[in-house]
Structure 1
């Protein structure tokens, strides 16, 4: 009878429940009452599905780093507000459709921090996608050529959190400028965006170009955003030392 039950659980894809029930049959297992056993099996299935969901969300985000907020370095030279960053762990900024702008020199740890916040969002069930900004703009140009542009823009709009890394390494041309405007306009007030850049925010207007469009993008992106400016020496050099 137990063998048949285990097989039916597997066929119903109740994998968490299957493992829990199988372990409960071992001689050394706890002698559960019927209601305790039901609670144990239900909780095991719930945990298994949640873990698989987090794993699926994390893989589909394509993060640059396998990063966690707990591993962020708060060395005084970096001038980081630990309380501010730990508040991001609750992901209330996503609930409130707010943005985060992370700036700092090369190797300062911007990508790691953005990835850490993204991983935390995935663990709470949010849909996240991570892109190098230049690669995203290249993909969007290709999408325009093959007719999949609107589908890709729609996919970006549906993400709870969009992370754009290495933003501003190249000045935007007219096509990329309008693509960025469309992305930011679609997400404004509805979704959250994290942007990591070597350029200080004050230099973004010139990098975007075309005053009217730059004004519109920055008005939607910057004024109500949380800002982190990382100081100190390169973390890559520090790790080598």
Structure 2
């Protein structure tokens, strides 16, 4: 009979979906008793632990749902390697106020300069602030759109893409698009115009985007929507991925052994 209250408490906390409360209540009770903490502060400690853990789980779910190929942070980006990148603007964007205003971000630069890293880092910050995020390459997105059209579920996919607070479209310009693919991608941007934020990374300057979309009219209409409320990040310079690889392969000088 003495175990009944503990069994009932465990049951109730599970029903109420308070796993941290359940896991920590006994340990926190002993700590609070040893410190002479009253029952109100004891409950406050448990509530704070539950909130912290719930927020951590929420962020983990959002990161998983975003489909990031890797988790990258702003702290791990080498800004000194890409002096053309406006670090203060990146740090400002990390606050995610641009998402509240449905503004866009375009990162343009040579291959290997860290455009995807920056996009992923901004996506991570958005997840940490409770925003819904989606990540996909431009070629993969077009493939999914064409497949959805053939399977008569295009409208459902378009609505799903429009609902993200932040949609990251990576590597626009690496692969030319078919006329149909270009039109479907344009529709994605149009549906998100002033309704959600979009981050685009591209290795091409704007005046070469026509080579991707194949139509000056379509490219002009796309840029008109995409750049209406936009922050542009320029990442020009040598590939620091290549520089890092070269550095790691550089032979080390032989160890000098001093005579005894």
Give yes or no for TM over 0.5: yes
Shift of 1:25: 3.5
Shift of 1:193: 0.3
Alignment match, 1:62? 67
Tell me, in whole angstroms, the C-alpha distance in 1 between the residues paired with 2:146 and 2:85.
37
Change (3 A) 1:200 1:2: same
Alignment match, 1:35? 40
**When the two structures are superposed, what TM-score results if normalisation uses the length of structure 1?**
0.93
**When the two structures are superposed, what TM-score results if normalisation uses the length of structure 2?**
0.87
Tell me, in whole angstroms, the C-alpha distance in 1 between the residues paired with 2:161 and 2:59.
19
Q: Do structure 1's residue 46 and structure 2's residue 48 form an aligned pair? A: no
Shift of 1:178: 1.4
Shift of 1:31: 3.8
Instruction: Give runs of aligned pairs for residues 1-241 of structure 1, distance below 5 A.
Output: 1-26=5-30, 30-75=35-80, 77-240=82-245, 241=247
Shift of 1:109: 0.8
More off after superposition, 215-224 vs 152-161: 215-224
Root-mean-square deviation (CA), in Å? 1.7
Tell me, in whole angstroms, the C-alpha distance in 2 between the residues paired with 1:138 and 1:57.
24
Gaps of 5+ in 1: none
Tell me, in whole angstroms, the C-alpha distance in 1 between the residues paired with 2:218 and 2:88.
35
Shift of 1:77: 4.4
Change (3 A) 1:188 1:143: same
Tell me, in whole angstroms, the C-alpha distance in 2 between the residues paired with 1:189 and 1:77.
31
- 1:104–1:230 contact (8 Å) kept in structure 2: yes
- 2:166–2:199 contact (8 Å) kept in structure 1: yes
Change (3 A) 1:34 1:82: same
Change (3 A) 1:174 1:90: same
Tell me, in whole angstroms, the C-alpha distance in 1 between the residues paired with 2:145 and 2:165.
19
Shift of 1:156: 0.3
- 1:64–1:111 contact (8 Å) kept in structure 2: no
Gaps of 5+ in 2: 248-260
Higher gyration radius (CA): 2
Shift of 1:5: 1.6
Aligned length: 241
Q: Which runs of 4+ in 1 moved over 4 A?
A: 27-30
